[in-house]
Amino acid sequence: MISVEEALARVLALSKPMPVETVPLQKAAGRWLAEPARARRTQPPFRSSAMDGYAVAGATVGDGFDVIGEAAAGRGWTGHIAPGQALRIFTGAPVPDGATRVVLQEDVTRTGDRITVTALSEGDNIRPLGDDFIAGAELSPRRLRPSDLALLAAMNLPEIPVRRRPVVAVIATGDELVMPGEEPGPDQIIASNSFAIKALAEAAGAEARMLPIARDTEADLFAILTMALDADLIVTIGGASVGDHDLVGRVAESMGLDRAFYKIAMRPGKPLMAGRMQGVPLLGLPGNPVSAIVCGHLFLVPLIRVMLGDPSPGPHPARAVLARDERPTGPRTHYMRARLEPGDGLPLIRAFDRQDSALLSVLAEADALLIRPLGDGPRRAGEIVDYLPI
Ligand SMILES: Nc1nc2c(c(=O)[nH]1)N[C@H]1C(S)=C(S)[C@@H](COP(=O)(O)OP(=O)(O)OC[C@H]3O[C@@H](n4cnc5c(N)ncnc54)[C@H](O)[C@@H]3O)O[C@H]1N2
Ligand code: MOO
């Protein structure tokens, strides 16, 4: 068995960033910007009024000005404001030369084309040219959030270079499985964890395809693994252990799987397997639902993030305070299903009593995995520990 850290390093080495494609900005939400985006213009491209009011050259309370014109957003005014003159101006309009401040319309009285300043708010209410960004400014590669899209639009970039989404083939295996909604036999259960794995892959930015359930025969596994060979990443679930019907490793090896490792000192998830088969990275998740999903968080999501070009693919542990005493752990790093509670500074973390790797109902209540290092001793309430948000 190898350590979780060693396994993660080997999993992440299985792949590299996907090729770059160009997408319209409207389709770029959630995609990974592949290279720095450079602004094609300066924003604002002129000195811009931040308020509705009057642009003037200097003002103190009691001063009077003649209103000589008007500027609105998209309708500028050409000319120069001389002392004693004012331009009626609206938010977003270019501020003309000569003007040094915009007096709020609430702070003047107006009679005909004459205004008198009655109050002065702080600041000049003028946004300088390039206050937001200047031409050539860069947005660094990242996963594009809604606010990033607005910035790219303002930079006048209608198309964006992004990493192609990796296609992830998800294969559940086992004679005992039927799909939700189907009628299970007396010795069958419903395939469940494949839905979590597909969702995790999609949330990480991949395109996930759920393939038909592979039955526990070499021929069926061979057929379904063959269907998956055009994917960028193959994820199998189950059939990874030592039982007579755990055939995934054997069949994948017959198809050329070059194993990076098999078996990790972690709980749950010991029988994780990884390698490359005919050039395609393959992650063989254990079948127990919680094991598969924990391995999904720990290995699948970071692997997808590497494929999308994330330089810091995680997982990224956070810190919390133990809410209660915990017993020592065994010879595997234990990812205990746990819940966070508000704390005094750091959150409090409380592990569930029941930690069996088949319990989806417990996992559904969990929002964190409490990380207990391999061979960890007893821990006292109040100690600071690491966890992964899930
Ligand atoms: N003698 C040993 N037995 C087992 C060992 C071991 O070291 N020696 N390891 C145990 C551990 S730990 C795990 S985890 C499991 C993993 O085994 P497999 O990856 O071979 O998984 P299966 O045997 O196919 O299934 C285990 C369990 O999970 C259910 N399952 C499988 N796929 C799904 C699915 N898509 N949706 C819902 N449930 C699924 C399956 O019915 C079994 O109940 O092995 C231990 N055994
Ligand atoms: O390692 Mo298994 O994944 O404990 O249940």
ipTM for the complex?
0.97
* Phi, psi angle pair for 307, to nearest 5°: -65, -25
Question: Which atom from ligand 1 is nearest to the alpha carbon of 193?
Answer: 36
Ligand 1 in reach of 246 Cβ (< 6 A): yes
**Domains in the chain, CATH or no CATH each:** 4-17+165-307 (3.40.980.10), 27-41+132-162 (no CATH), 48-127 (2.170.190.11), 318-389 (2.40.340.10)
Confidence of residue 161 (pLDDT cuts 50, 70, 90): very high
% of the chain beyond a pLDDT of 90:
96
Tell me the CA–centroid distance for residue 133 and ligand 2, in Å.
51
Answer yes or no: is pLDDT of 240 > 90.
Answer: no
Ligand 2, CB cutoff 6 Å, lining residues? 267-270, 286, 288, 291, 357
Per-residue pLDDT at 243: 78
Answer yes or no: is pLDDT of 5 > 90.
Answer: yes
Question: Which atom from ligand 1 is nearest to the alpha carbon of 270?
Answer: 12
Ligand 1 in reach of 333 Cβ (< 6 A): no
Average pLDDT of the segment spanning 145-163 = 98
CA atoms of 243 and 45, how far apart (whole Å): 68
Question: Which atom from ligand 2 is nearest to the alpha carbon of 291?
Answer: 3
> How far is CA 286 from each of CA 61, 97, 164, 264, rounded to the nearest angstrom?
76, 70, 28, 11
Per-residue pLDDT at 46: 98
Answer yes or no: is pLDDT of 52 > 90.
Answer: yes
Per-residue pLDDT at 261: 87
* Phi, psi angle pair for 82, to nearest 5°: -95, 160
Question: Which atom from ligand 2 is nearest to the alpha carbon of 358?
Answer: 5
pLDDT tens for residues 248-290?
999 999 999 999 988 999 999 999 999 999 999 999 999 999 9
Tell me the CA–centroid distance for residue 230 and ligand 2, in Å.
30
Angle at 20 between CA 14 and CA 151, to 5 degrees: 120
**Biggest alpha carbon–alpha carbon distance for the chain:** 95
% of the chain beyond a pLDDT of 70:
100
Ligand 1 in reach of 172 Cβ (< 6 A): yes
Question: 3-state DSSP call for residue 357?
Answer: coil
Q: Using omega within 30 degrees of 0 as the cis cutoff, is the peptide bond preceding 342 cis?
A: no
Per-residue pLDDT at 252: 96
| Parallel, antiparallel or unpaired: strands 167-172 and 207-210 | parallel
Average pLDDT of the segment spanning 108-124 = 97
Confidence of residue 197 (pLDDT cuts 50, 70, 90): very high
Per-residue pLDDT at 242: 78
Ligand 1 in reach of 381 Cβ (< 6 A): no
Q: What is the pTM of this model?
A: 0.93
Average pLDDT of the segment spanning 125-151 = 98
Average pLDDT of the segment spanning 227-254 = 92
Q: How confident is the prediction for the chain on average, in pLDDT?
A: 97
Per-residue pLDDT at 117: 98
Ligand 1 in reach of 296 Cβ (< 6 A): no
Tell me the CA–centroid distance for residue 147 and ligand 2, in Å.
41
Average pLDDT of the segment spanning 150-166 = 98
Question: Which atom from ligand 2 is nearest to the alpha carbon of 270?
Answer: 1
Question: Which atom from ligand 2 is nearest to the alpha carbon of 286?
Answer: 3
Answer yes or no: is pLDDT of 245 > 90.
Answer: no
Tell me the CA–centroid distance for residue 23 and ligand 2, in Å.
41
Per-residue pLDDT at 206: 98
> Which mutation among 189, 217, 237, 241 tests ligand 1's pocket best, with the greatest number of atoms within 8 A of CB?
241
| Parallel, antiparallel or unpaired: strands 233-237 and 280-285 | parallel
Average pLDDT of the segment spanning 69-75 = 98
E strand intervals along 173-293: 177-178, 189-190, 207-210, 233-237, 258-262, 266-267, 273-277, 280-285
